[in-house]
């Protein structure tokens, strides 16, 4: 699978040069699309005319605009995730946040509707994993303290 090849190369690069190439955004958008039921062929077809930088939604499926955010700790001392990326606009319908482990294995994924997200976080400066965990769980590899 192409995703596995990309992860293998990124981890080899990190092992050799100390820092992984920036693949988290691309992987998380792909993984989010797979989580919500988009096929790999549908995702590929949708992405053909897109660029790496686009305002608002990262992809659209079944008429729903999705924004994707993700975190991945490097595995180095002190690299655990305490702060998560915040959406800077509301030109989407649903946001999916994904947390990976150091090997790009998905640990959890949470979904937010734009209205609920804006109500909960618009005035909040700093978001943590606990904030995103108040959304709808799409995937959880293991039990996470949700308090």
Supply the pTM of this predicted model: 0.93
147 falls in which pLDDT band (50, 70, 90)?
very low
Characterise 70 by phi-psi region: left (phi > 0), alpha (psi -120 to 50), beta (else). Answer: beta
Per-position DSSP letters for 24-91, written without gaps between them? HHHHHHHHHHHHTT--HHHHHHHHTT--S--SS-SEEETTEEEEEEEE---SSTT-----B---S---
pLDDT digits (tens, 9 = 90+) for 7-51: 999 999 999 999 999 999 999 999 999 999 999 999 999 999 998
Per-residue model confidence (pLDDT) at position 126 = 96
pLDDT digits (tens, 9 = 90+) for 76-100: 887 889 999 999 899 999 999 999 9
Per-residue model confidence (pLDDT) at position 127 = 97
């Amino acid at each position: 699978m192409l995703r596995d090849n990309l992860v293998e190369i990124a981890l080899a690069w990190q092992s050799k040069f100390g820092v992984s190439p920036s693949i988290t955004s691309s992987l998380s958008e792909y993984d989010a699309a797979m989580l919500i039921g988009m096929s790999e062929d549908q995702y590929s077809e949708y992405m053909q005319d897109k660029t790496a930088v686009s305002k608002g939604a990262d992809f659209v499926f079944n008429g729903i605009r999705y924004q994707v955010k993700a975190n991945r700790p490097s595995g180095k001392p002190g690299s655990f995730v305490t702060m998560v990326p915040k959406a800077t606009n509301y030109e989407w319908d649903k946001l999916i946040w994904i947390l990976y482990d150091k090997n790009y294995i998905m640990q959890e994924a949470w979904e937010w509707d734009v209205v609920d997200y804006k109500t909960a976080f618009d005035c909040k400066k700093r978001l943590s994993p606990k904030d995103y965990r108040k959304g709808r769980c799409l995937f959880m590899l293991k039990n996470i303290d949700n308090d």
